Amino acid sequence: MSNFKKDQKVNVKGTKTAPLPRPGKFVQTHPGVRGDFVEVVLDGSTQSQRFRPSQVSAA
């Protein structure tokens, strides 16, 4: 279980094409069959996205 609080500022690890960390806000954690997913709304986006906990860190 992640220890983020709702609306806490977090950073999502970058991708190979965009290596810089992307800032966003934590929404909630979704327990899944193959592990938890962390729901984050990236800054400048209206849609939330789900990431693996290993991709998300506190800002």
What is the separation, in whole angstroms, between the first and last Cα of the chain?
18
CA distance 34 to 15: 21
CA distance 30 to 51: 10
Flag whether pLDDT at 1 surpasses 60.
no
Per-residue pLDDT, 2? 62
At 6-53, the pLDDT tens digits run: 999 999 999 899 899 999 999 999 998 989 999 999 999 999 999 999
